[in-house]
Structure 1
Amino acid sequence: MKKLLILSVILCVLNIQVTASAAFWNVTGEKMIHDPSIIKEGNSWYVFGTGEAGKNGIRVLRSDNGVNWYTTPVIFPTAPSWWKTYVPNHESNQWAPDIQYYNGRYWLYYSVSSFGSNNSLIGLLSTESITSGQWRDDGLVVRSTSSSNFNAIDGDLVIDKDGNPWLSYGSFWSGIKLTRLDKNTMKPTGTVYSIATRPNSPNNAIEAPSITYKDGYYYLFVSFDRCCQGVDSTYKIAYGRSKTITGPYLDKNGVSMMNGGGTIFDAGNSRWKGPGHQDIYNNNVIVRHSYDAENNGMPTLLINDLYWDSQGWPSY
């Protein structure tokens, strides 16, 4: 009996360890990515991310099992001429794509800008099938200029509880914005709301919104502080929630995200530095990049199962 009891305890411990480690996807193959957005079409997973510096296009990774990833052709190997009308000195690579399925099509929002500038735009592509590789250029969605108090990058498509599409976006300046989209054009219509800002942080270091709806709440995930500095990056993921999509979003302590609030979700560790630019899929998967201290600070794809506690707060 004692031996059986000991064996039972050991099995329970092993089960706990397996359960805890299973939350982290053991990603293999091509893992270099920045600002990832994830989706599944059929049996295939896709991650869209910022293009490699100095090269044209949006980076695309594919996996047929969610574990082993490989590269597929970039989107925009040649830049459309209309971008220069709005952002004359844009960088060759495009930033922070967001992919979502809605109303029979896959919608891909992306950013065109130059580092440190808010002379920027968010553009839109769409397709009936990612696997087909055939994308329709749906043009300009929103833009900002050097005289704007916001930055038109980091677009994130969210569908509210009633099936209406919205776009959140923003980086530094006056923070995170939200606007309703027309169901047919998937472009803004009506009011622009401010939903998160950090007035007491240097340069209002908040960006990369991602909103998801679950059990009566909208959850706003954002990235705080600085990306893009390898292992010296200070990026971290924070969140809050609201009963209405336009806010106010409050963190666990009840502090509004319009007043610098935000509960930290992931601040990294000794290996994974500066995790951020997160994307939520199906309320049970979270993807982000982090800089690998064991691989020269390479921006690396991290995927986890996403959990929710009894009070409705997210964890992994």
Structure 2
Amino acid sequence: MVVVGGATRLTGSGLSITEWKPITGALPPLGDAAWAAEFEKYRLSPQYQLLNTGMELSEFKFIYWWEWGHRQLGRFIGLVYLAGFLVVALRRLLPWRQSAVLFGMGLLLGLQGAIGWIMVASGLEPGMIAVAPVKLTLHLSFAGLFFASVVAFATWLTPPRRIEEARGRGFALLLLALVFVQVALGGLVAGSKAGFTFNTWPLMDGALVPSGSTLFAQPSFWENFVDNVALVQFNHRLGAYLLLAAALWHAFTMRSATPGSGMAKRATAIAGLTLTQAALGIVTLLLVVPLWAGLAHQALAFMVLAMAVVHVTRSTVTAHPTGV
């Protein structure tokens, strides 16, 4: 779902459907008349008038199918989750506390869908040719929250392979927080298309640290953190350096303190994934964000997030009632 959402963003397809119809919108246009009517709605949007004037119907169908597929996959996930929750709740397959957690996760999933429409609506405002970067970041961040909750819940229900002393929980939580921040900073990069500028590394605008006039070119200090592509990209770079340094340090300390332990192995896996993700991010930047690299970078970010969530969940519990 996250990868399809990324493709929808990178292909410029997110504003092709200008209405939010959670039920009836599941059906795509059927027939030439329906396609013409849908295309006419898009032609009234600011994105068409300011950016895509003269687009052919065949080109519109391409971006329409990406957005429709993204929404349809969201509907499918929601239905699968609802059906699964009803089975668990009605058959009382889990204790009430865990069922309550599942219910809360379902609310989070529904909220994510609503945030998706709020994001799209921001791009349909007069003068807009894309969604607002902050709202895209919010959409991506809530996707990360729901994804993390699924991983955490699954880990919670899975007995550990062996019981060992839980160590390094504080640093594991710090790593998880840094991953979330970096995902959000990546959302701002995607929302402002900052990855299509300053396509050099390690230098940026000819220096390791761009000039203050470049980083804070906007009149409003705070607007620079969202709308200034130079500062948005620079913050994402800094976040990557900080996260990589923290992951490598955590792996080193855990391997030294508890060699061969599950904690050390997970810390090493996080460090390896983070290093690979950093390298992929550099490649994506240098190649000016080709579709395959952008999607791979986003997918690997969520793999890092998954491993960080497992790491925190396992470090929180020293034993499991059915653990071996």
> Same fold per TM (> 0.5)?
no
| Normalised-by-shorter TM-score class | under 0.3
Q: More helix per residue: 1 or 2?
A: 2
Q: More strand per residue: 1 or 2?
A: 1
Instruction: Say which one has the larger Rg.
Output: 2
Compute the TM-score of the two structures, normalised by the length of structure 2. Answer: 0.25
